[in-house]
DNA sequence: AATGAATGAGGCTTCATTCAT
DNA sequence: TATGAATGAAGCCTCATTCAT
């Protein structure tokens, strides 16, 4: 009866270690110790530390993007509904793949090697998806964006991605509730009285798209 | 003719290097090379690499917090106005102290040594300030939060802090305009028609505060 | 239908790999991959990497020495003829057992473990054979050595062994022709006019044998 | 009074270690131990082990090539005389820079990294020089080559380079004498009676140049 | 005969830090 | 202030070898 490969264990250990110490500070020593093997033995499973990072992040990230793409393509529901679903999906990813999401976000814009061009690619993909959803809403009149769609997308994404610093899963129901609260915040804003308020649109929003040479 | 101490130069070099490579990957070699000196010479100015990080971040961070505190204490203007000012301040910090802000955010929740307890402290301080501003708005009826104030604060902060990944300064006027667009987004949300919409508050927001043991 | 042992395949793979990367840089991984098996499986055939080296080299080397010994013992032809045959044999070895010869020569004087005392032994054996052939020629008057026989032998051997760096087999006939050209060079030298020339023997050759502690 | 840099010491230690164990088996540990420093300290002098190899070999190799080039250009003496000088130069290099020469020869045709393209380049350079000298001799009628000039050059070079395996320096005078004996051998061959002998040119030397794809 | 996993030793390299000058 | 050299610790990775299955 062949022992099952311990690859999944390894990836999980790596995820935990990356998330706890950060990729750069995490050591193969620490990761392998979690499996009770020596650091050299890790190379029976992967060819490098980087590959381990990829293994941690790739699955969940691809899955997330696939879901987001499906959402975009589904024109059977309105933009607001789909935005709500987007937030729910994102929260679920945090809940289910916490280390992966955390590690991924820690590395965004930090791709130093060709192997991680993939990271930035996924990042652009996600941004484009959200932007396109918001733009669609603006086109249909369902949304009214106070900024360039790209900036609005970045604001939404920032709000969601920052959850890495404070979110703790509490079970599917509570997490979905949290997601919907965030959606309400995004859609309705904070102002009392239905958002009609002098301040809200006081500045004639000179449309503005971020520079190509954005940092990071 | 005695040369003046090159400490400021050093701090700037360190900021640039930290921001480009991340604190962990930045080397004293690289930093000192920017001044045309050798890495050992850095110890004429600071006692450790960590101290350099502190030197980079401390000034701007303290200044930011002081401004934020002043804002909180100033009851002469409404919450929305003060929130707008908060966003403007934050954007200005990014514009004027980009490396510091970037590096600071990269290190949030990553305090490994006692020297950096200060980091987490500042983080909590900032969060508390924003939360208290929002709570005040809810109390006065100026705001209507779809979530727990702490979560709303975290959403706002996330939106702002994520700017590290995309913001590029364009001059005071344009930057202020951008800040105000973001404020509009925060206050008014994305939904057309004044935020009165079935979806916006569809989920009875079970108030919810994040766990004490939040990760990171 | 039982597969035959793949030992010969293994030895060939090892020879190729040793020759391509050098013994030290060659890996069992690379060798075994040529058979489509894993490196651990190699130990079903040999007990160590060194043994593999031995297996690669031993056969051809012993065969070469046997031929050379036979040549020495055969007093039915003159020294020059036998020298020509020696060169032909050597060239044939390069043609037929290229990796073995290459690897062998790469290891000359590099015996680090007892298992390879055999290498140095064979080396001495070969040198002694050539030296004795040349000395015989000098004794019979067929040759006229401008140097100590041992040095002449080393010169001849050097010329031949260096072929590892440039020889490529072209078929029996062409290879034999090349061998005979080299023989002509060894016997007749490069000078025009029958070798009678002031320079040729200008230096009264103080007989000289190499030191026992010769390096390598 | 500044301590002199120990770089020369380091290069010498590296040369000795490379020559004793071979480049691949030599360790920075062993090299640095000869200076009484730790292995990491070596990186104050060079950026890599390879650079150390380069440092060991480069100087003597360039010097040798420069001398050889000068020899080629000097048309004031005959080819035979210049060939004798070539041999003397080569022997002197072995005497004066033994480890460098040894290590160099051990690496010929083994350039794996771009940094060592230089090695193969020097190798080609040397071969071309000798070949051109021999060809000149054939043209002027001073020499009579039984083979293609390139092959004759390789034969001569082989004879000389193989000295790495047996040569031990004995002082300038004795070394020069040895060089001249070898020259006599090259020019006059081994055959008694002035090289006029049936065997010497018995094989009609079908001119033959080595394949471009020569191994190693 | 072959696999998959593990070991253990060692190698190269990096880097913050120290210190005499 | 700055240098040059050294330390020491640690990290990633390689690889021959072992062994249960």
CATH number of the domain encompassing residue B103: 1.10.357.10
Q: Are residues C85 and C38 in the same domain?
A: no
Cα A165 off chain centre by: 12
Cα C136 off chain centre by: 21
Cα angle: A112, vertex A164, A194; to 5 degrees: 120
d(C-alpha B116, C-alpha B50), whole Å: 9
pLDDT at residue D202 tops 80: no
Residues of chain B in contact with residue A141, where contact means CB-CB under 8 angstroms, are 192
C-alpha pair distances (Å), D49 with each of D53, D55, D109, D124 = 7, 10, 19, 24
**Per CA to C1' distance, which residue is closest to F18?**
C40
Q: Number of C-alpha atoms within 13 angstroms, CB side, residue C204?
A: 0
Instruction: Tell me how far apart the 2 most distant CA atoms of chain B are, in Å.
Output: 74
pLDDT at residue C13 tops 60: yes
Q: Is A39 on the interface with B (CB under 8 A)?
A: no
When pLDDT is averaged across residues C33-50 and rounded to a whole number, the result is: 97
Spans of chain B, pLDDT less than 50: 1, 195-216
Q: Is A212 on the interface with B (CB under 8 A)?
A: no
Q: Which tokens hold the place of B52?
A: 């350099």
C-alpha pair distances (Å), C153 with each of C67, C147, D174, D179 = 17, 9, 19, 15
Residues of chain D in contact with residue C109, where contact means CB-CB under 8 angstroms, are 165
Instruction: Tell me how far apart the 2 most distant CA atoms of chain D are, in Å.
Output: 73
Task: Name the residue among A102, A161, A181 with its Cβ closest to that of B151.
Answer: A181
Contact positions of strand F to protein Cβ (< 7 A)? 1-21
pLDDT of residue C201: 41
What CATH number corresponds to the domain at position C25? 1.10.10.60
d(C-alpha A120, C-alpha A126), whole Å: 10
Secondary structure letter of residue D39 according to DSSP: G
**Is the residue at A16 inside a domain?**
no
**Is the residue at D92 inside a domain?**
yes
Q: Are residues C21 and C79 in the same domain?
A: no
d(C-alpha A181, C-alpha A183), whole Å: 5
pLDDT at residue D182 tops 60: yes
Q: Number of C-alpha atoms within 13 angstroms, CB side, residue A134?
A: 26
Neighbours of B, requiring at least 3 CB pairs below 8 Å, are A
Nucleotide nearest D40, from its CA to each C1': E13
**Is the residue at D84 inside a domain?**
yes
d(C-alpha A36, C-alpha A20), whole Å: 18
pLDDT of residue C162: 96
**3+ Cβ–Cβ pairs closer than 8 Å linking C and D:** yes
Q: Are residues C74 and C172 in the same domain?
A: yes
Q: Which phi and psi (to 5°) does residue A141 adopt?
A: 85, 0
Spans of chain A, pLDDT less than 50: 1, 195-216
pLDDT of residue A110: 77
**3+ Cβ–Cβ pairs closer than 8 Å linking D and B:** no
Q: Are residues C168 and C135 in the same domain?
A: yes
pLDDT of residue A2: 52
**Is the residue at D200 inside a domain?**
no
Task: Name the residue among C25, C80, C167 with its Cβ closest to that of D191.
Answer: C80
**Is the residue at D43 inside a domain?**
no
Mean pLDDT score across all residues of chain D: 88
Nucleotide nearest B26, from its CA to each C1': E15
Q: Which tokens hold the place of A60?
A: 């969940």
Cα angle: B123, vertex B125, B129; to 5 degrees: 120
Q: Are residues C80 and C176 in the same domain?
A: yes
Q: Are residues C108 and C178 in the same domain?
A: yes
pLDDT of residue C4: 67
Nearest-CA neighbor of B210 among B157, B162, B143?
A: B157
Q: Is C12 on the interface with D (CB under 8 A)?
A: no
| CA-based radius of gyration for chain D | 20
Q: Which phi and psi (to 5°) does residue D143 adopt?
A: -110, 160
CA distance D45 to chain C (A): 26
Helix-helix angle B149-161:B79-96, to 10 degrees? 30
pLDDT of residue D123: 93
Cβ contact, residue pair D190, C161, below 8 Å: no
Q: Are residues C76 and C159 in the same domain?
A: yes
| Termini Cα distance of chain A | 49
Q: Is C47 on the interface with D (CB under 8 A)?
A: no
Question: Can you give the pTM of this predicted structure?
Answer: 0.87
**Is the residue at A174 inside a domain?**
yes
Determine the structural domain holding residue C147 and report its residue range. 57-188
Q: How many domains does the structure of chain C reveal?
A: 2
Secondary structure letter of residue A206 according to DSSP: -
Comparing A166-180, B121-135, C94-108, D187-201, the range with the smallest average pLDDT is D187-201
Helix (H, G, I), strand (E, B) or coil at A116: helix
Residues D22, D106 contacting (CB under 8 angstroms): yes
Residues A165, B214 contacting (CB under 8 angstroms): yes
pLDDT of residue D214: 33
Q: Which H or E run contains A58?
A: helix A49-73
The pLDDT-based confidence of D3 (bands split at 50, 70, 90) is low
**Is the residue at D6 inside a domain?**
no
When pLDDT is averaged across residues D184-209 and rounded to a whole number, the result is: 62
pLDDT of residue D24: 92
pLDDT of residue A194: 56
Cα C155 off chain centre by: 13
pLDDT of residue A114: 77
When pLDDT is averaged across residues D119-124 and rounded to a whole number, the result is: 90
- How do residues D70-94 score in pLDDT, each as one tens digit? 999 998 999 999 999 999 999 999 9
pLDDT of residue D108: 79
Comparing B106-115, B183-192, D19-28, D30-39, the range with the smallest average pLDDT is B106-115
Q: Is A159 on the interface with B (CB under 8 A)?
A: yes
d(C-alpha A131, C-alpha A122), whole Å: 14
**Is the residue at D19 inside a domain?**
no
| CA-based radius of gyration for chain A | 20
Cα C14 off chain centre by: 19
Q: Is A124 on the interface with B (CB under 8 A)?
A: no
């Amino acid at each position: 009866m062949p022992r099952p490969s311990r690859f999944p264990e390894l990836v999980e250990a790596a995820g935990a270690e990356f998330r706890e110490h950060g990729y750069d500070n995490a050591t193969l020593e620490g990761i392998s110790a979690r499996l009770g093997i020596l650091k050299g033995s890790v190379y029976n499973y992967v060819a490098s530390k980087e590959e381990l990072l990829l293994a941690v992040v790739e699955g969940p990230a691809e899955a997330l993007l696939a879901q987001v793409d499906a959402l975009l393509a589904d024109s059977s529901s309105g933009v607001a509904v789909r935005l709500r679903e987007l937030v729910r999906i994102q929260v679920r990813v945090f809940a289910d793949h916490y280390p992966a999401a955390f590690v991924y976000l820690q590395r965004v814009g930090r791709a130093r090697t060709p192997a991680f061009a993939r990271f930035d690619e996924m990042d652009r993909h996600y941004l484009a998806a959200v932007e396109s959803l918001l733009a669609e809403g603006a086109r249909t009149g369902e949304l009214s964006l106070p900024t360039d769609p790209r900036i609005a997308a970045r604001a939404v994404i920032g709000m969601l991605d920052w959850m890495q610093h404070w979110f703790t899963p509490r079970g599917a129901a509570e997490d979905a509730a949290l997601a919907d609260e965030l959606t309400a915040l995004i859609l309705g804003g904070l102002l009392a009285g239905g958002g009609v308020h002098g301040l809200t649109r006081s500045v004639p929003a000179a449309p503005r798209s971020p520079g190509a040479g954005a940092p990071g």
